[in-house]
Structure 1
Amino acid sequence: MPTRTSSARWSGDLKGGSGSLALGSGAFEGQYSFKSRFEEGTGTNPEELVAAAHAACYSMALSNMLAGAGFTPDSVVTNATVNFGQTEGGFAITRIDLVTTGNVPGIDEGEFLKHAEAAKAGCPISKALASVEITLDATLVS
């Protein structure tokens, strides 16, 4: 299996500084700052990137599990919300909320929900973030 890389650079102090980051694939380059992370400034932030990674991984994992059970999905769309804030130990990701919608021909809701929960536990990003509460709201639309 290949390894994956990304890079980031920060210049200056926390509040006045700025940073840039790039995915190793070249698919994305962006800016980040104190305001984009802790307020509502322009640019991205590490938590937004974690949310994107988790949504993508979960959608792939659920699609794979469904197909393996004989239900090839037309689509699986997942939104991930990363909750970030001050805790007793400092700033931390406190919870991740996954909201997924599956358009899966021939499956009933119970079967879909069973695979949705299994994908939440089995997705490699979920496993990497196991110390954080992960919620799931799964909806079958077909």
Structure 2
Amino acid sequence: MIDRKAHAVWQGNGKSGTGHLTTQSGVLKDQPYGFNTRFEDKPGTNPEELIAAAHAGCFTMALAFQLQEAGFAATEMTTESIVTLDKEGAGFKVSKSALTLTASIPDIDQATFDELAHAAEKNCPISKLLNAEITLKATLKQG
């Protein structure tokens, strides 16, 4: 089992407050996020953008392994993920992640490519996460 961590700090209310994200690897360190980076395209990041990056990267790597097992190697694969955030009642929900793949793979036929790509899409860990059990451990500090 492998655990990866990220850390979020938030100060203030939802609209005018600010937050920072830091990842275990350090690739994000105190990266700003807030209402304006999520809903107004201001500099910084947002959870949906990070999910899109994770899904595109995970799927593409999963396909590389699918191809390897089938005896193929990609010259290049490029995947875009568009994560959609929809209004739901008083809040929002992530309703979909649309993957778009462009690949150059020598000596593969269309049927094999389609089969392997669909298997990677269904079985990459982030695809599974988007339909996963969520657990929460919440601690309220007094004072």
Deviations 1:111-140 (A, max 9, x none): 111111111101010011137xxxxxxxxx
Partner of residue 50, structure 1: 51
Residue type at the aligned position of 2:14: L
Q: Superposed, which structure 2 residues align to 1:26-105 within 5 Å? A: 26-29=26-29, 30-88=31-89, 90-105=91-106
Partner of residue 22, structure 1: 22
Deviations 1:44-66 (A, max 9, x none): 10000000100110000001001
Aligned-residue RMSD, C-alpha: 1.4
Specify every segment of 5 or more residues in structure 2 that has no aligned partner in the other structure, as ranges. 133-143
Query: Taking structure 1 as reference, are residues 122 and 13 closer, same or farther at Cα in structure 2, changes over 3 Å only?
Result: same
TM-score normalised per structure 2: 0.86
Cα displacement (A) at 1:89: 6.7
- How far apart in 2 are the matches of 1:21 and 1:12? 15
TM-score normalised per structure 1: 0.87
- How far apart in 1 are the matches of 2:32 and 2:114? 38
Q: How many residue pairs align between the two structures?
A: 131
Identity %: 42
- How far apart in 2 are the matches of 1:89 and 1:6? 27
Larger C-alpha radius of gyration, 1 or 2?
A: 2
Cα displacement (A) at 1:110: 1.5
More divergent stretch after superposition (17-26 vs 88-97): 88-97
Q: Whose strand proportion is higher, 1 or 2? A: 1
- How far apart in 2 are the matches of 1:59 and 1:7? 26
Assess if the C-alpha contact under 8 Å between 1:33 and 1:41 holds in 2.
no
- How far apart in 2 are the matches of 1:118 and 1:22? 32
Which runs of 4 or more aligned residues in structure 1 lie more than 2 Å from their structure 2 counterparts after TM superposition? Answer: none
